[in-house]
Structure 1
């Protein structure tokens, strides 16, 4: 029997504004918390709740981890291979 592979993760990328927010995170605890949230979203991009929108732009989702106190706003590409993080709150 062939070994089973874990599900393929989506690649994480950041919008320009999220990249600037990322540069301002200096606490090791905040970086660790953000890293954990990014792994969750990359493994299951549907984990976040959809945000209401007009349908003209990307379909934004919000993932909130109350334990780690992290909030991400993101959208997923059509092929579900890339998650674009638009906003970070740690």
Structure 2
């Protein structure tokens, strides 16, 4: 019998701005914190809160992890298979 797998994770992609911000993250602790936040978002794209003023799809969402001190702005594609990260704060 084949092993059961959990739900499929969405793929993470970065906007040009987020990619440049990612290049400035050098601390291993910051990388670990950001990685944990991205895993949470990829497993459950609805975990973030919609930002006010964004009423058209795709809606910009914000995920904040106060424990790890990470903030990620992102939106989810229509098929919910790709999450585009627009902004990163670590």
TM-score band, normalised by shorter chain: over 0.9
Is 1:10–1:80's contact at 8 Å kept on the other side of the alignment? Answer: yes
Is 2:76–2:84's contact at 8 Å kept on the other side of the alignment? Answer: yes
Determine the structure 1 residue equivalent to 2:67: 67
Partner-residue secondary structure (3-state), 2:31: helix
Cα drift, residue 4 of structure 1: 2.5
Determine the structure 2 residue equivalent to 1:9: 9
Give the direction of change, closer, same or farther, for the CA distance of 1:32–1:48 in structure 2 (3 Å limit). Answer: same
Give the direction of change, closer, same or farther, for the CA distance of 1:54–1:25 in structure 2 (3 Å limit). Answer: closer
TM-score (norm: length of structure 1): 0.93
Structure 1: give runs of 5+ residues left out of the alignment.
none
TM-score (norm: length of structure 2): 0.93
User: Aligned-residue CA RMSD in angstroms?
Assistant: 1.4
User: Paired residues, what number?
Assistant: 90
Determine the structure 2 residue equivalent to 1:78: 78
Partner-residue secondary structure (3-state), 1:8: coil
Is 2:54–2:60's contact at 8 Å kept on the other side of the alignment? Answer: no
Cα drift, residue 52 of structure 1: 1.5
